[in-house]
Amino acid sequence: MAKVILVYPIGGSMLDIVSRRIPLGLLAVSAYLDKEGYEIKIIDQRVDKDWKNTLLEELKSNPICVGLSCSTGKQLIYAVETSRFVKENSNVPVVWGGVHPATLPFETLENKYIDIIVSGEGDITFYELVKALEKNQDLKNIKGIYYKENGEIVKTENRELIENLDTLPELPFHLVNVRDYSSVNYIDGPSIDLMTSKGCPFKCGFCYNLYFNNGRWRAYSIERSIKMIKFMIENYKIKNIHF
């Protein structure tokens, strides 16, 4: 089936080298698409130092879109650079998700290299967006996005939070090389991040939680969490887990 390219920009900190975290957000928005057989290419600039040539080669397949995850800070520099590179070499729509666009959607979309923003949880929103872009459908009925139309920024209806996380597909860890993210130097073996919950019950003014999770905390069931842990241990020989 059609291809979707997802890019994780360099964050600009030593953590990119010493202890890079697996891009769980990109895996989360890939889950439904992967389940339906879409071809998904994840390019992590922290891992792929030749990312421009990789991206250029992938753009030749005329993908449905290129999606980027971006937080506020130095990562913005690399995210904008990547978006500009995509536009200079293709007509593929550029979609941003993550902390920064969710917090400052209108300001973000003022950038000429960015076409669409997925605001907040992208698990379902990005899936619906890709399907609509593939069929060249109107985007107005997709909840949780901002996009440009005739020079104006359009905001659609807010997306409801996913109440039962157990209904979400398993994360497609096969889309990345898990060992690239097992770089924390524990004595007894490799480590990995696992997401067993979303959000936070507190409402700190400096945190993106209010934009993503409405100040709420939701968790996978104990059974689902244990299943994930067993999967990582049995398939990737993980010894340490950061929840």
Give pLDDT tens digits for 103-115: 999 999 999 999 9
**What's CA 227's distance to the chain center, in Å?**
23
Residue 188 confidence class, pLDDT cut points 50, 70, 90: low
Instruction: Determine the average pLDDT of the residues in 70-91.
Output: 95
pTM beyond 0.95: no
How much is the pLDDT for 155?
97
Give the percent of the chain with pLDDT over 90: 76
Q: Please determine, for residue 179, whether its predicted confidence score (pLDDT) is greater than 90.
A: no
pLDDT, average across residues 208-221:
89
The chain-wide mean pLDDT, for the chain, equals: 92
pLDDT of residue 18: 59
